[in-house]
Structure 1
Amino acid sequence: MKNAKTYKSLLVMLLAGWCLLFLRCESTEKSMVRAVYLARTEQRYQAGLLYQAPQAAADAAEASAALQFVQAEGQTMERALAAAEQALPQTASFRLCDYLLLPKAAEPLLTEYEQLVLRRGCGRTAARLFCAEGEIEHLTTQATLPDALMAQLKAAAPTAPRLYQHTEPGLLPVLGWSAKEVTIQEGGVLHTVAANTPLSPEQAEVFRLLAGQGGTRQLWLEGERIGIRRCTVSVTLQKAQVLVRLDCQRAAHSPLPTQAQQQQLAAQCAALLQSCWQQGMDVLHLQARATLRDGSGASFDPTKNACPQWRTDVHFMLY
């Protein structure tokens, strides 16, 4: 009995040691790709990889894991990505590839990359989508920019759509960089299958409000900054018009909006809804609502029907 317990303890120790060795090999013998950059010109593709490759040191506490960036070109997307992978110091691992950056979020480019990910595993379909503005050479030559880029990607990620959602309308955050810094640009790019439309900071905040995205929304109303920490959007379908009601809870230390400010926000919501409808985008999912209510949503198809009349009301809670 005593020998059995001894053997059991020995086996547990050996298993634990093997697991630690496996995890260490996984982290030090592969270049962990954290983000992919893709661009296309008339004749070539450009691919960039933001990666992390820990460098071993005599003292484990001094091991380096700074982010770095490599880029490559190719006649096809697959060749460009393969060339970028070959430039990595170790075998590429896309297990932690959470972000995809594109200077222009063209639908054919997204579809091609998604199919390549499914076939080759060179990325993740759950990666967050971003528009990128900046010279890619800065990321390869400026040692501090890759880490700064990762920090901004993490900050903007909660509102960014995912790759597998690229056929649905979505608002892409815009990251820009120079030779010195990386910033999250104000506004965003409204992506649809048909087109990409830049939105002003005010329009982007209104879109996020209507889409029910989390986080505090900051809006300038009648020259005063108003913070909204929570918003409930209610929709009522009628024959001649659509009633939209926003019940908002203001952020801490934000003043209670006046009637004029509430009317201004209501007008901004109606204008954005109309603009999106004209681009074939049903922000409030009216077609699905009509289908659930009547069994058919044909009368609320933005690609076939004229824009409905919007009646938008905004109310703020007193607390």
Structure 2
Amino acid sequence: MEQRDSGESLSTVLVAGAANLTIAVAKLVAGLISGSAAMLSEAAHSAADTVTELLLLVAVRRAGRPPDRRHPFGHGKSGFFWAMMAAVATLVGGAGFSITHGLHVIEKGEELTNLTPSYIVLAVAFVVEAVSFAKALSQLRRQAARHDLDPVRLVRITSDTPLKAVLFEDAAALVGLVIAGAGLAGSQLTGSALWDGLASVGIGLLLLVVALLLIRSNISLLIGQAAPSHVQEGIRAELTAQPEVEEVVELLTMMIGPGSILVAAKIDFVDVASAAGVEIACDEVDRRLRERFSGISQVFLDPTPTRRR
């Protein structure tokens, strides 16, 4: 992982965690006062997000540990594992509670009382979540500018799982707050708890979608996802452009940590006078690749003659 991206991700996760912990307590109090299922679902949402941020902190810390004898390629993939556990926490703690509690309210109905504290908490929470989302979005835009990519494309392909999780969860939190507010207003205007229950189910379904997207992304990274296609194309072009390289026979890449890429390539080098010449050529190509792509942490080159018929 690049040190700069790691530091930014840690800061982003800390801000999101502090925001979620604060508003989880406020939502819980407001939900107990009003009896609103949507508010209690939002409290569960924020509580799940708080647990998520703690797991993401573990992900950032573990992924940044240096290689050792048992883990010669580093601990980057542990970041993917803990980020997936964070998504599971959102799925179980947030989505599960919100959907089941919302269905209970729709079936049984619950009387709502004083909703003023709930509206105040929702408004304050929206501002706090917006600040956290803005910080994550700012980091995404800086990374996109460094890699010369559109931010939307970068968030789809990035291996910086803590940043991706915070972005998705903060966006879901903002939408969830709007859904909760609409549910409260609907129940207040109609006198029916149906709208409050529907809002709770809606929040749960929103969290379900976000959790499944993050779980899918982290599973792909855990089982050996290749570097993004534009990076692979850039690596191949850089290899082909080297005067020592005749042809790239085969190119394999794998994300071995957030922002960390392993490159393995079979290269047909130009004819050289000796084996020492091949070694020098390999070393030079390795150096140039690392200079061109800062995310490359491991390079393995296999001199392989092209099989010509």
TM-score by length of 2: 0.24
TM-score by length of 1: 0.24
Q: Which has the higher helix share?
A: 2
Q: Which has the higher strand share?
A: 1
Higher relative contact order (CA 8 A, sep 6+): 2
